Amino acid sequence: MPIYISMLRGINVGAHKRMKMDQLRASFEALSFGQVKTYIQSGNVIFKTTKVSPALLSERIEKRIFADFGFPVSVLTRTADEMAKAIEDNPLLKKRGIDQEKLHVMFLSDAPAAAALTKLAALTAAPDQSCCLGKEIYLYLPNGTAESSLMKNQLDRVLSVVTTTRNWRTVNALHKMCQECR
């Protein structure tokens, strides 16, 4: 059975949209997903299910979360192979002087339009760097997210797609968990 990763946007940040990971795992298991595992409290779920499009899985999961928790949550889902490719394709790793602790990947619901990417480029002020490949935007934020020129903007609106961002350590940990599920 294929392995998938679902990333929930904006849960357990502040006082709103709180959920316990054991309850989240139960919601996924109620959808007949197998080998459900969570990673940290920010809504990262690894699971197995029959082959289906990640977009359809996200839709089903969003409905289940709303039914179980009573609030809407955006969910972005990738296959294990898509996550591996996102790691392998990171163009920022090829640049000199990149501190991997300052790398992030913004996962997108769809590839953004060229005009949206032009807006993103205009918002990217040095020393921040961004690079879009398909449905991922690679970010280098050397001064951290709090000081980032990019993170001070609502990038969902700029890009006209749903986004969720994970740091490089989390992206690699999710990939490793997928490999352990095989």
Total-model pTM: 0.95
In a domain, 175, yes or no: no
What residues contact residue 72 under an 8 Å CB cut-off, 6+ apart?
A: 62, 65, 66
In a domain, 24, yes or no: yes
In a domain, 61, yes or no: yes
In a domain, 178, yes or no: no
- Residues 78, 15, single domain; the answer is yes
Residue where a domain terminates, one of 61, 82, 103: 82
Taking a C-beta distance cutoff of 8 angstroms, is the pair 133, 91 a contact?
yes
In a domain, 47, yes or no: yes
Per-residue pLDDT of the chain (182 residues; tens, 9 = 90+): 999 999 999 887 777 888 999 999 999 999 999 999 999 988 999 999 999 999 999 999 999 999 999 999 999 999 999 999 999 999 999 999 999 999 999 999 999 999 999 999 999 999 999 999 999 999 999 999 989 988 888 898 999 999 999 999 999 999 999 999 88
Closest C-alpha among 94, 92, 95 to residue 106: 92
Domain enclosing residue 64, as ranges: 3-82
Residue where a domain terminates, one of 47, 62, 82: 82
CATH of the domain at 21: 3.30.70.1280
Residue where a domain terminates, one of 82, 102, 125: 82
Q: Are strands 103-108 and 136-140 parallel, antiparallel or unpaired?
A: antiparallel
> What is the amino acid identity at position 49?
T
CATH of the domain at 133: 3.30.70
